[in-house]
Amino acid sequence: MRKVVLILLFITCKISLAQSFELSGKDTINFTDANGKKQGKWVIKNITLHKPCYADDQIVEEGKYIDSKKTGQWKEYYCNKNIKSVITYENNRPNGYAKMYHDNGKIKEEGLWKNNRWVGDYKLYYDNGQVQQAFKFSSTGKRTGEQVYYYENGQVMITGTFNEGKEAGVIKEFYENGDIKSEKSFNDGNIDVAATKTYEPKKPIAPTKPEEKLEAPLVKVDPKEKPNLSTPFNGEGYWKLYNSNKQVSKDGTFSKNRLIEGKVYFYDNDGILTRIAVYKGGKYVGDAVMEE
């Protein structure tokens, strides 16, 4: 009899421990504790978000919470179920290695995100998988070291060195066929106009298709937008333009006043960045990911 009682007590203890473990949220998902805080793994489906093009039972994002704060890796998905981003969080803020993807599944951006800025090596990709930009950032988030832009065919477009966000030394530009296009000398972000050299291509350059020219939108430059240089904007080559509040407004490569490769930055009335439009081949291709 005593043996039977001991067995019953053992089983009761096991059941009690199992229930305690389950209530702790360690073997559950979408768990909210007694204080109303999210804990452990969460899988968020569209039935709670109501995003267009997603099915109600489709996963939009998933990751881990500690006291309702995102932590560790969080994954977000496109409505075609391809992964949209993998971002590392710390205390509910992106902080760590981050990867963003095109909706075709190919990588779009990757690098180390820290204190609301990119630091170290960073890459931006075309949707064919080819690198579009290969930058290096300092610990303060300013471009430092070798910076390279590429054409979609893999050919180098622009290469040069930056120092704490400013051009330093010779910046070289190339035609899409690989021929040198220009050499511009900079000192602390200021161009030496007298030392600038331009070249005609040695090899023929394939003409742009007429339909691409028609579709390439004209990016209008406000008279208040100016480069952080003594040289006035001429609509050709690489430029970084600033608005009247000294915030970056356009950053990229221009041709005949068209933003061919780069980004346009939008701010609200309080000067807070609200949107970053990305241009490729002279066309708007979407918005860059806005970090929290």
CATH number, domain with residue 49: 2.20.110
Same domain assignment for residues 220 and 261: yes
Indicate if 249 and 191 belong to the same structural domain.
Answer: no
Provide the pLDDT for residue 2: 56
3-state secondary structure of 116: coil
* Amino acid 116: pLDDT: 83
The confidence score (pLDDT) of residue 138 equals 94
Mean pLDDT of 84-92: 94
Q: Is 163 helix (H, G, I), strand (E, B) or coil?
A: strand
Say yes or no: 42 and 88 in one domain. Answer: yes
Q: Which residue has the higher pLDDT, 6 or 21?
A: 6
Query: Which pLDDT score, from 0 to 100, does residue 15 have?
Result: 40
Mean pLDDT of the chain: 82
Whether 241 has a pLDDT exceeding 70, the answer reads yes
Looking at the fold, whether 40 and 77 belong to one and the same domain comes out as yes
DSSP state at residue 46: G
Mean pLDDT in residue range 47-51: 91
Residue with more model confidence, 44 or 116:
44
Query: How far is residue 147's CA from residue 135's CA, in Å, rounded to a whole number?
Result: 5
Same-domain status, 199 and 212? no
Whether residues 153 and 73 fall in one domain: no
Alpha-carbon distance of 193 to 156, in angstroms, equals 23
Task: Indicate if the pLDDT at residue 284 is higher than 50.
Answer: yes
Structural domain boundaries, residue 39: 28-115
Q: Is residue 3 in a domain?
A: no
Look up residue 43 and give its two tokens. Answer: 């899988």
Q: Please enumerate in sequence order all residues whose Cβ is within 8 A of that of 258, keeping only pairs 6 or more positions apart, or say none.
A: 216, 217, 218, 219, 235, 282
Check whether residue 288 and residue 214 sit in a common domain. yes
More confident residue, 281 or 65: 65
pLDDT at position 168: 92
* 182, 257: one domain: no
Residue 211: its pLDDT value, please?
37
Predicted local distance difference test score (pLDDT) of residue 225: 78
Does residue 62 surpass a pLDDT of 90?
Answer: yes
Kindly state the percentage of the chain with pLDDT values over 90. Answer: 51
Question: Residue 7 pLDDT > 60, yes or no?
Answer: no
**C-alpha to C-alpha distances, 253 to 127, 135, 170, 261, nearest whole angstrom:** 18, 15, 16, 5
Residues 189 and 225 in one domain: no
The verdict on residue 91 lying in a domain is: yes
219 and 164 fall within a common domain: no
Q: How many domains does the chain have?
A: 3
How far apart are alpha carbons 227 and 64 in whole angstroms? 43
d(CA 7, CA 5): 5
The reply to whether 52 falls in a domain is yes
Q: Which of these three, 189, 205, 221, is where a domain ends?
A: 205
In a domain, 267, yes or no: yes
For residue 70, being part of any structural domain is answered with yes
Least confident of 12-21, 55-64, 123-132, 240-249: 12-21
- Would residue 79 count as lying in a domain? yes
d(CA 181, CA 260): 16
The verdict on residue 100 lying in a domain is yes
Helix (H, G, I), strand (E, B) or coil at 218: coil
Please report the pLDDT score of residue 6 as a whole number: 47
What pTM did the predictor assign? 0.63
Do 77 and 153 have their domain in common? Answer: no
> Is 193 part of any domain?
yes
Name which residue leads in pLDDT, 247 or 43. Answer: 43
Of 52-56, 74-78, 161-165, 236-240, the one with minimum mean pLDDT is 236-240
Boundary of a domain, candidates 174, 205, 236 = 205
pLDDT of residue 10: 45
